Amino acid sequence: MGIGFFARIPIAPVITKRLKIALQTIVTSPISKIPKKIAEFIDVKNSPALPPIASNVAPATVAGSFIFVESDVNAVSTESLTNFNAQKIPIKIPTSQTIFIVRSFTKFLKNSTRATLLTMSFFEMLGIGIFFAAAATFLAVRFFPAFGLLDFPARYNLNRPRRPYPGGLALAILIVIFLIVDGNFWPLALAILTLGAISFVDDRKPLPVWIRGIFHAAAAMFVFFAGVQISQIGNPFGGEIFFLPIGVSAALTLIWIVVIQNSLNWFDGLRGLSVGVSGVGFLALGIFGLVRPEVAWEPALPEFLRTMFFLAGICAGSFLWFFRGKILLGDSGSQVLGFLLAVFSILAGTKIATTLLVLGLPILDLVFVSARRVFLEHRSPFSGDQRHLHHNLAKKMGEKSAVLLLIGISAVLGAIGIFFTGFSKILALGIAVLLLIGLSVWAGKKSRQIKVKS
């Protein structure tokens, strides 16, 4: 894909401009000054030296192991360098210098791209996420079948054709690339790679619960020691803050992250449901950071907000593909999205109560289903069935209507989490719990049966 094509994308003019500046800086500089230009971005103290060149040599461009030099010093333009109409004098240079220039140019573009991300508005990041997620999901739908990446409907006694799966793999790769390029929360990329890998294996061939649990706990402890910690608890009835011992902090952080990511995973029973609820969660956390004065002093708030809006865009851009059943998310997506929601609800001063409200549906579903299996049916809470809240609602009102209803409820709860504070937020949380219990009882009554994704 060339820069010309990229320039026609409405959401990408800033990136295009940066790339053009980067290219022109390199290709319109004399050979003897190329390392100096690149040295502004990287350390070239031990780089190999260029061979001596006459002082009247014109601007140059790199092609393989040769440098082609324009003979007319006054005809300096990117277009002339592209067409190569003027006389070209091949000059052999050492391979090590060629490798150095290529690597330096790659580093230059990476830094330029990161600088572009840092200057983008939050809503531009939302648009970037939507575009890349839509493109990545489209490619996954198109090419996953060629690689045998299809789901297993027979596991859940479903009689339908196999679909591309797991679509969460494409989203996880996008998120990892963003975190590395952006650079602010790059350690999370390591945890996501670990979670994504073990979840992908589980999607292909189910793993024992204890193996998955070890990796989930390891990812949670990794981010804990990286500084993502529930280290204090505020009093909702006053301004007091209670600081927690390190052991209590570690236990609460571990429980919070593992429960949130698995509740979202258990909620992935209808097409597009987990992606939609996750998108609402990321957007709520982003808006919370924009409008709540108590987090305005946080030094990492701008970086946090850019990431939240980008992740919300990732969910929005891929939602229709999942909602229409063109591709299925899988644990590779639900575990990663749940993990990120849990982690970012701790970061940048964001209140955990807000995430509790946004994810009230999946959390309550996890609690109710686990209690039913253990105390009423006397079996493992990890044994699957199709009696979750979303399954019951789908049987009652149809799958797509159930998905939209649950996402809408999550959005309302998210708005309550953003604009309510203190005791009013706790009161709203209690009312929401009662309403959700009523919804669960109503949905659990005998209803018409339809086919739903397990």
Q: Average pLDDT of the chain?
A: 76
Q: Does the structure show a pLDDT above 50 at 39?
A: no
Q: What is the DSSP letter of 147?
A: G
pLDDT in tens, 320-356: 999 999 999 999 999 999 999 999 998 855 567 778 8
What is the rounded CA–CA span in Å between residue 401 and residue 20? Answer: 47
Average confidence (pLDDT) over 162-170: 95
State in Å, rounded, how far the first CA of the chain is from the last one: 38
Q: What is the per-residue pLDDT for 233?
A: 79
What is the rounded CA–CA span in Å between residue 73 and residue 89? Answer: 13
Query: Are 94 and 102 within 8 A, CB to CB?
Result: no
What is the rounded CA–CA span in Å between residue 313 and residue 333? Answer: 15
Q: Does the structure show a pLDDT above 90 at 155?
A: no
Query: Are 65 and 113 within 8 A, CB to CB?
Result: no
Q: Does the structure show a pLDDT above 70 at 413?
A: yes
SS3 (DSSP) at 67: strand
What is the rounded CA–CA span in Å between residue 301 and residue 166? Answer: 32
Tokens 């090590």: give the residue. 96
What stretches of 226-298 show up as alpha helix (H) in DSSP? 246-266, 273-291
Indicate the Cα dihedral angle 442, 448, 453, 454, nearest 10°: 60
Q: Does the structure show a pLDDT above 50 at 107?
A: yes
SS3 (DSSP) at 232: strand
Q: Does the structure show a pLDDT above 50 at 58?
A: no
DSSP 69-114: EES-TT---HHHHHHT-S-EEEEE--HHHHHHHHHHHHHHHHHHHH
Query: pLDDT-derived band of residue 85, with 50, 70 and 90 as boundaries?
Result: very low
Collect contacts of 9-17 with beta carbons under 8 A, ≥24 apart.
9/131, 11/124, 11/127, 11/128, 11/130, 11/131, 12/128, 12/131, 14/116, 14/119, 14/120, 14/124, 15/113, 15/116
Task: Please state at what angle helix 422-444 crosses helix 360-371, rounded to 10 degrees.
Answer: 50
What is the rounded CA–CA span in Å between residue 426 and residue 430? Answer: 6
Q: What is the per-residue pLDDT for 236?
A: 64
pLDDT in tens, 257-281: 999 999 999 999 899 999 999 999 9
User: What letters, b where the CB count within 10 A reaches 16 and e where it falls short, cover 400-427?
Assistant: eebbbebbebbbebbebbbebeeeebee
Q: What is the per-residue pLDDT for 318?
A: 96
Q: What is the per-residue pLDDT for 104?
A: 53
What is the rounded CA–CA span in Å between residue 79 and residue 27? Answer: 11
Residue ranges per domain, the chain? 3-115, 121-444
Q: What is the per-residue pLDDT for 178?
A: 94
- Cα separations in angstroms, 10 against 7, 13, 128, 300, 321: 8, 7, 10, 28, 22
Tokens encoding 38: 């690149």
Lowest mean pLDDT of 233-247, 251-265, 302-316, name the range.
Answer: 233-247
Tokens encoding 259: 């429960």
